[in-house]
Amino acid sequence: MILAMEQPAHIKVSGALEGEFIITEERSANEFVITRDTSWQAMLGKGEREATEEEVAALEAEHGPFQPADGEG
């Protein structure tokens, strides 16, 4: 299964579905389970950008300092 890999396989889909996807399960040689890639790297590829220092400071001033990631999700 692909779940044992460090980084899931990424694919680009076009047609009825379009975009970047991650293969979450390989069921047979011809059948896969995929989900949309919603990682920050994928979002940057869609014209998004990283927040500026000023934007981060404004968010922290309103909501408190960012906490380190807890490893979930």
Q: Is the pLDDT of residue 11 over 50?
A: yes
pLDDT tens-place string over residues 33-44: 988 888 877 777
What's the mean pLDDT when you consider all of the chain? 80
Predicted confidence (pLDDT) at residue 23 exceeds the cutoff of 50: yes
Output the pLDDT for position 72.
64
Q: What pTM was computed for the model?
A: 0.46
- For residue 12, give Cα distances in angstroms to 19, 42, 65, 69: 6, 11, 36, 28
Res 1 pLDDT > 80: no
